[in-house]
């Protein structure tokens, strides 16, 4: 190559060993050592420092015959090589490496003992402890850990490095449940706000880190787990050429992942404003006891002239459980992480092994007395693999139960009517709950099992005041858009439009619609049908006792006609089965359903947040 001679380490008469550096050349600002190809004595030097040499030029010549000792001791070349090797093999790190090692060490919790102690005294974990618990051991790779808050105009860099590690937001990728499903199915993106850094507020670099992570999650199809604790936007960043900051992309990028990859939010402590907005975009929100989640914190509420409130008064857990904002309420962060790992497992594949409870108990699950309530959650837990049921939105839409579960290791979504609330009638909240859950299952290819026991939609002036015409319509519209297999089991009542909605539109939409022997089906509740259909006949009977006897006979006739066994003779349902055979029936049909078609994008534009 063409180069400039920077240094010649030898002179005529100097002995060199093979591999000794005899000259240093500079080309394109890089230094290249020229090594002796063999041992010998320098007999001729043809270049000097500062010379420009071309490819093929001779720098020096060696006599490689047996050499005689050189007067003066060690050769200059050997001495030069010694200088080049100085410091190697001594165990001392290079200065540049030492700086990097030291800087990374400052990210660890051990570097900030006072902040960690305060956190633990509150009964909470650090952000890094949560990330380490979520991801499989040794699998997490952090992005942007060396970023600091954009406040260099206000504070020295060394202070920012010490006080604002990772700009208060830990982002990276790892695996979750790889030991069960393998690494190929276990990838996960993680964003965890660190409340010990500027109260977990959203800084400029943190937004850029989220942009990077969310783009990566979309490109690699990685689910995202977001630990959302924090106070929202940070007004104190000074190094940003912005005024309103309303061109921040993170919210749009995160919302754009809805329906493409599973999104899991974890709320612990206080999550306000921008942090809460991100949590609100998640498919499922897990929140701890004592948490507060709100679109504004105390300062913003006060600034709006709306009064003075403590953080604990704004969006506490009990409010959000009842309103449906929180899907799963837990005791603490450790339980929240465990639920997050479990939730992700339903979207990672089928488990290899399973156990189940004895199925014979299902024969007595529905009382013979048709007006006695029962526990539909017992039915779900018995039909599903043992310990596999994860209920979502337990405290909201009480007449509908929505849960993720497994049948012979295969993940499914379960929607069931609960007769303990309004007799199983579907109200506006229940309709929203079911329709939104169907969207979730359909987006990620989970078959749906519906357990029907409903007298229909809720009726009356009070019910209509909750816009139920529109809310009920949502069940029909969503049901008609489903692409995954639906399997319906009529446990007892299947009346009217509510029953059709539970079957995603009508009884022949599901891959299979079967009933238990306790099943009863009709266009409306049978007692009501008799009162309306035979009103004139009944009114014409003067004797009250005879009128009641006629009414009872007509109702009994209607029950016989609407009984599951009779309905099956008209082929309005596919079969009437032994309740103890329900699990086996569902497993057989799930086994023959074709696997979901490969896709490069989302099936649905998004999953409704509500």
CATH value at residue 44: 2.40.50.100
3-state helix, strand and coil shares in percent for the chain, rounded to the nearest 5: 40, 20, 40
Q: Specify the pairing of strand 486-495 against strand 512-515.
A: parallel
Q: In this structure, are 396 and 494 located in the same domain?
A: yes
Identify whether residues 261 and 237 lie together within a single domain. Answer: yes
Q: Are residues 489 and 583 in the same domain?
A: yes
Q: What is the CATH number of the domain that holds 313?
A: 3.90.226.10
Tokens coding 20: 């000794």
Assess contact for 419 and 453: CB atoms under 8 A. Answer: yes
For the beta carbon of residue 389, count every other beta carbon within 10 angstroms: 18
> Mean pLDDT for each consecutive 10-residue tract of the chain (610 residues)?
92 92 94 94 92 94 70 45 50 88 95 95 97 97 96 93 95 97 95 96 94 96 97 87 82 95 97 96 97 91 88 93 97 98 97 95 95 96 98 97 98 98 95 98 97 92 90 95 97 95 96 97 75 79 84 76 91 97 98 84 91
Residues 444 and 339 in one domain: no
- Please, how many CA atoms are within 13 Å of residue 86, restricted to the half-sphere of its CB? 6
Residues 206 and 331 occupy one common structural domain? yes
Same domain as 307, residue 197: yes
> What counts of helices (H) and strands (E) characterise the chain?
22, 24
pLDDT at residue number 261: 97
Q: State how far the Cα of 270 lies from the Cα of 275, in Å rounded to an integer.
A: 9
Nearest to 392 by CA among 354, 341, 444, 339: 339
DSSP, collapsed to helix, strand or coil, labels residue 540 as coil
User: Considering the domain boundaries, does residue 599 fall inside one?
Assistant: no
Alpha-carbon distances of 203 from 230, 257, 285, rounded to whole Å: 11, 22, 23
Coil, strand or helix at 193: strand
Query: Beta partners for 410?
Result: 407
Among 418, 455, 410, 423, which residue's Cα sits nearest to residue 434? Answer: 418
Please give the pLDDT value at position 89: 55
Is there a single domain that holds both residue 218 and residue 77? Answer: no
Class of residue 94 by CB neighbours under 10 A (exposed 0-12, middle 13-18, buried 19+): exposed
Q: Which domain holds residue 122?
A: 99-345
Q: What is the pLDDT of residue 538?
A: 79
Is 610 among the domain residues?
no
Residue 324 and residue 206 share a domain: yes
Q: Is 117 part of any domain?
A: yes
Is there a domain that residue 607 lies in? no
Total-model pTM: 0.88
Closest CA to 440 of 595, 284, 324, 278: 284
Indicate whether 600 belongs to any domain.
no
Token pair of 598 as six digits:
């490969």
Whether residue 113 is found in the same domain as residue 77: no
219 assigned to some structural domain: yes
If phi over 0 gives left and psi between -120 and 50 gives alpha, with beta otherwise, what is residue 39?
Answer: beta
Q: Quick one: 41 and 185 in the same domain?
A: no
Contacts of 609 (CB under 8 A, 6+ apart): 258, 280, 281
**Beta-bridge partner residues of 40:** 16
pLDDT attached to residue 86: 46
- The verdict on 132 and 274 lying in the same domain is yes
If one counts the domains in the chain, the total is 4
- Could you tell me if residue 42 is inside a domain? yes
Q: Are residues 246 and 152 in the same domain?
A: yes
Rounded Cα distance, 223 and 384, in Å: 25
Helix (H, G, I), strand (E, B) or coil at 28: coil
CA distance 577 to 564: 10
Question: The tokens of 311 are what?
Answer: 């953080």
* Per-residue DSSP letter, 426: B
The H or E element spanning position 414 is strand 410-417
Domain annotation covers residue 585: yes
Cβ neighbours, 10 Å, residue 580: 15
What's the burial of 185, exposed, middle or buried (CB within 10 Å: 0-12/13-18/19+)? middle
Comparing CA positions, the residue from 206, 210, 106 lying closest to residue 147 is 206
């Amino acid at each position: 190559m063409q180069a400039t001679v920077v240094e010649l380490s030898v002179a005529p008469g100097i002995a060199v060993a093979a591999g000794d550096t005899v000259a240093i050349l500079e080309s394109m600002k890089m230094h290249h050592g020229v090594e002796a190809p063999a041992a010998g004595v320098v007999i001729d030097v043809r270049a000097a420092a500062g010379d420009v040499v071309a490819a093929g030029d001779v720098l020096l010549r060696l006599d490689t015959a047996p050499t005689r000792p050189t007067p003066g001791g060690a050769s200059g070349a050997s001495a030069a090589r010694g200088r080049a090797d100085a410091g190697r093999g001594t165990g001392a790190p290079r200065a540049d490496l030492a700086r990097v090692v030291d800087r990374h060490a400052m990210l660890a919790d051990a570097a900030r003992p006072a902040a960690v102690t305060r956190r633990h005294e509150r009964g909470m974990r650090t952000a890094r402890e949560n990330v380490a618990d979520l991801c499989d051991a040794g699998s997490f790779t952090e992005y942007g850990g060396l970023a600091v808050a954009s406040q260099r105009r206000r504070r020295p860099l060394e202070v920012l490095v010490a006080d604002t590690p990772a700009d208060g937001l830990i982002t990276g990728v790892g695996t979750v449940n790889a030991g069960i499903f393998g690494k190929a199915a276990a990838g996960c993106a993680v964003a965890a706000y660190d409340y010990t850094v500027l109260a977990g507020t959203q800084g400029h670099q943190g937004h850029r880190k989220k942009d990077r992570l969310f783009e990566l999650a979309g490109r690699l199809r990685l689910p995202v787990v977001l630990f959302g604790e924090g106070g929202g936007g940070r007004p104190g960043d000074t190094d940003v050429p912005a005024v309103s900051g309303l061109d921040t992309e993170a919210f749009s990028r995160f919302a754009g992942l809805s329906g493409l990859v599973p999104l899991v939010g974890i709320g612990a402590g206080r999550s306000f404003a921008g942090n809460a907005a991100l949590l609100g975009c998640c498919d499922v929100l897990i929140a701890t006891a004592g948490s507060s989640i709100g679109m504004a914190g105390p300062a913003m509420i006060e600034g709006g002239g709306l009064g003075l409130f403590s953080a604990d008064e704004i969006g506490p857990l009990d409010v959000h459980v009842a309103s449906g904002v929180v899907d799963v309420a837990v005791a603490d962060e450790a339980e929240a992480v465990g639920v997050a790992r479990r939730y992700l497992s339903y979207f990672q594949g089928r488990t290899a092994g399973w156990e189940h409870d004895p199925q014979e108990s299902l024969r007595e699950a529905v009382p013979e007395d048709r007006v006695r309530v029962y526990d539909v959650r017992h039915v779900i837990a018995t039909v599903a693999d043992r310990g596999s049921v994860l209920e979502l939105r337990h405290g909201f839409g009480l007449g509908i139960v929505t849960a993720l579960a497994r049948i012979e290791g295969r993940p499914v979504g379960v929607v069931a009517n609960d007769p303990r609330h309004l007799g199983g009638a579907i109200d506006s909240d229940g309709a929203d709950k079911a329709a939104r859950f169907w969207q979730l299952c359909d987006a990620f290819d989970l078959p749906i099992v519906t357990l029907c026991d409903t007298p229909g939609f809720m009726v009356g002036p009070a019910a209509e005041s909750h816009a139920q015409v529109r809310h009920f319509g949502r069940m029909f519209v969503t049901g008609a858009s489903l692409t995954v297999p639906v399997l319906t089991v009529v446990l007892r009542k299947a009346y009217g439009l509510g029953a059709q909605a539970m079957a995603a539109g009508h009884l022949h939409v599901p891959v299979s619609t079967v009933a238990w022997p306790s099943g009863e089906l009709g266009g409306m509740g049978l007692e009501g049908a008799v009162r309306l259909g035979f009103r004139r006949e009944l009114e014409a009977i003067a004797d009250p006792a005879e009128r009641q006897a006629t009414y009872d006979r007509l109702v009994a006739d209607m029950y016989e006609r609407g009984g599951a066994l009779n309905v099956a003779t008209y082929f309005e349902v596919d079969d009437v089965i032994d309740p103890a055979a329900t699990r086996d029936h569902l497993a057989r049909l799930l086994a023959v359903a074709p696997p979901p078609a490969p896709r490069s994008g989302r099936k649905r534009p998004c999953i409704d947040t509500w």
